[in-house]
Structure 1
Amino acid sequence: MQDFIIIGHKAVTTGGFSLNDMPGSAGRMDILCRCINSVFFLSHDLRRDVQAHLLLLGEPNSPRLIRFNGEKVRYLNPDERSAGALIKKALELDNISSLEIRSTPGVWVREADLQTLLDEFVRDGRKIFYFREDGEDIRRMAEEIKDGVFILGDHLGLMEDEESLVLEMSAGTISLGPLSLHADHCIILIHNELDRLTTSHIER
């Protein structure tokens, strides 16, 4: 299982946003939707052994944590609006608490912050990896990051306190190249490196 954590600092935490204006009314929810598509979609198929954890930190009810599970998710199509609709349904629930509740098949929501989520992964023995341009080249780390937990920021990156927490709890800092990339593009590159490990005819 691969897990991707994507932090949306401005992403609204109520279901009242418009699917027609996710960059504006929803606090750059479009970024999170593109990340969902990159986490799960293959050509004519879905990746089943992955999860995406969207940490929404915008107004008015932050934090909200929405989990997508590739094995169980339904009604997800390869467009931003589809992912946005599932996020919207999750945020429209009126009984959100620290206990995870299902909003639609394969999608759950709860009240949780970054510390809580990382603590849970560490307790489960999972390795956490943070991506930064000055990290270790992923092509020298691919074997080590199998079944990893990957943390990515939105257009704002990670805040100083978030980065300090992640660096303290992570198993390593990894680079996808010398240039800063969009989070959804980073996800595709991570998948590609891991796919290559399981493709015997490609020599590394």
Structure 2
Amino acid sequence: MTSFTVIGHTACTDASFPLDDLPGKGGRMDLLCRAVASSLFLSHGIREDTTCDIMLLGQPHPGRIIRFDGSALRSLSPDERNIASSIKRALAIPAGKTFREAGPGLLTRKGTLADQLSEKHYAVLDESGVDIRKVATEELPDAFLLSDNRNFSDDEMELIRDIPKYSLGPAIVHADHAIVLILNEIDRRRSGWI
């Protein structure tokens, strides 16, 4: 199982955000929707061995995590509006410290980055990290941490200080593109192409 956690530093945590203004009033929710789509969708199907957690840190209730579980998802399309509707549905239900189902393959809870990091062995995608193609397959973790269009905060940097950092190449790419590149690398390795 491959997992992604994407931090949305300004992503709205109120289910009333408008679907027609995901970048503005949604707090760059568009970026998180693209990350979800990139992590889960194939040309003609869903990656059933992948989860994507989005961590919403915007107002009014920072610290909401929404999980999209490819093994159980139903009725999700890869477009931003459809994914944002699922996020709204998850935000509309009360959440505690444990995941609660908001629909098939759609779960939500309250949580922090420290909570996430304690649950899996993560690597951070960072342009100054080790080239991922130089990392042995058995050393690749099953979970990857990415940020939205903002750099990790000082507090986040402190939490991830000792976590392995990998680079995907010489160019800095968007989080959703980074997810595609990671999955391509994993697919190539699992299929024996490299």
TM class by shorter chain equals over 0.9
Q: Please list every run of 5 or more consecutive structure 2 residues that lacks an aligned counterpart in the other structure.
A: none
- Is contact 1:130-1:167 (8 Å) kept? no
CA distance in 2, matches of 1:167, 1:131: 12
Q: Which residue of structure 2 aligns with residue 124 of structure 1?
A: none
TM superposition shift of 1:145 = 5.0
Separation in structure 2 between the aligned mates of residue 96 and residue 198 of structure 1, nearest angstrom: 36
1:77 corresponds to 2:77: yes
Residue in 2 that maps onto 1:116: 115
Kindly indicate whether the alpha-carbon contact (under 8 Å) linking 2:9 and 2:56 is maintained by their aligned counterparts in 1: yes
Q: Aligned in 2, Cα 1:199/1:120: closer, same or farther, shift over 3 Å?
A: closer
Aligned residues: 194
TM-score (norm 2): 0.96
Q: Match of 1:141?
A: 135
Letter in 2 for 1:148: D
Q: CA deviation at 1:131?
A: 1.0
- Residue 7 of structure 2 aligns with an amino acid whose one-letter code is I
CA distance in 2: counterparts of 1:99 and 1:134, whole angstroms: 34
Secondary structure of 2:115 counterpart: helix
Match of 1:192 among 171, 179, 184: 184
Correspondence for 1:129 among 104, 123, 130: 123
| Mapped contact 1:2–1:146 kept (Cα < 8 A) | no
Deviation at 1:119, TM superposition (A): 1.2
Separation in structure 2 between the aligned mates of residue 163 and residue 104 of structure 1, nearest angstrom: 33
| Match runs of 1:39-78 below 5 Å | 39-78=39-78
Matched residue type, 1:137: D
SS of equivalent residue, structure 2 residue 137: coil
**From 151, 162, 175, the counterpart of 1:157:** 151
Shift of 1:147: 5.0
8 Å Cα contact 1:142-1:194 kept in structure 2? no
State the shift of 1:198 in Å. 2.0
SS in 1 for 2:138: coil
Task: Quickly say closer, same or farther: Cα 1:179–1:52, change in 2 above 3 A.
Answer: same
Could you tell me which runs of 5 or more consecutive residues in structure 1 were left unpaired when the two chains were aligned: 122-126
Please state whether the residue corresponding to 2:144 is helix, strand or coil. Answer: strand
CA–CA distance in 1 between the matches of 2:136 and 2:182?
A: 9
> Partner of 1:144: helix, strand, or coil?
helix
- What SS does the corresponding residue of 1:77 show, helix, strand or coil? coil
Q: Could you say which residue in structure 2 is the equivalent of 1:91?
A: 91
- Cα separation, partners in 2 of 1:45 and 1:136, compared to 1, 3 Å: same
Q: Distance in 1 between matches of 2:54 and 2:78?
A: 17
Query: Quick one: distance in 2 between partners of 1:80 and 1:194?
Result: 25
